[in-house]
Amino acid sequence: MPWPDAAYPKTIALRDGAEVLVRRLAAGDEDALLAFFQAIPEAERFFLKDDVTSPDLIGGWVRDAERPDPEPSRTALAPASPSGRTGGRAFSLIAVDDGRVLAEAALVRRRGAARGHLADLRVVVAQDYRHRGLGTAILSELLDVARDSGLNGVLFEAVGDVQAQALAAAESLGFIRLGLVHGGAIDPDGRLHDVVMLVMPLRRWRSSADF
């Protein structure tokens, strides 16, 4: 099923009145995205699921984002995007200002016919853009995309004491706690950290008519 992407690029306003551009990840973003992740404190990067300082990983994300929509998925219910690049498993958004990446967030559709109605969520925001509403705004954008793509739910997990800001943003939008994995993550010093599992059933997510 293709991702709907007609809404992008778009400008969003932050709580302090600043404006940033939100658009899909695209070819040519590799260096800026790598620099963005390299600027995230190492103590935070350690708990991310992927080695985001790897140029090969970043290049793979971009290639997946650029994957064209396969012809068989072009249905009346989910028409192909004019961009022709909606067929990958991941839908990645970045917030940018003057060439600098300020945030990266993505939906990654689960593999297999039995799980393809769900997607996992990731989000990272630059330190100087936290507490300004950017994380909440980009999460809202992805939930709109997930709803419009026909997904049933979005799953999110966070290391409770390390990713507390992302956890708070998700819960403020209505994500439901599924449970806690005690000691689900371990830091370089061998200390255990709890992992919080959350879900957003998309039937709960707002519709355009709510505004």
Q: How far is CA 144 from CA 6, 10, 15, 49, 153, in A?
A: 12, 14, 20, 24, 11
pLDDT tens-digit readout, 108-138: 999 899 998 999 999 999 999 999 999 999 9
The CA R_g of the chain, rounded to the nearest whole Å, is: 17
Q: Are 156 and 200 in contact (CB under 8 A)?
A: yes
- Cα(131)–Cα(70) distance, integer angstroms: 39
- What is the reported pTM? 0.86
Residue 79 DSSP symbol = P
Q: Which two tokens stand for residue 32?
A: 């800026």
132 three-class SS: coil
- Cα(170)–Cα(174) distance, integer angstroms: 7
Place of tokens 């919080």: 196
For each of the domains in the chain, give its residue range(s) and CATH number, in order of start: 10-210 (3.40.630.30)
For residue 210, the model assigns a pLDDT of: 53
pLDDT of 171 > 60? The answer is yes
Mean pLDDT of 172-196: 96
pLDDT tens-digit readout, 45-97: 999 999 999 999 999 999 988 876 544 333 334 444 444 445 578 999 999 99
Place of tokens 């192909």: 80
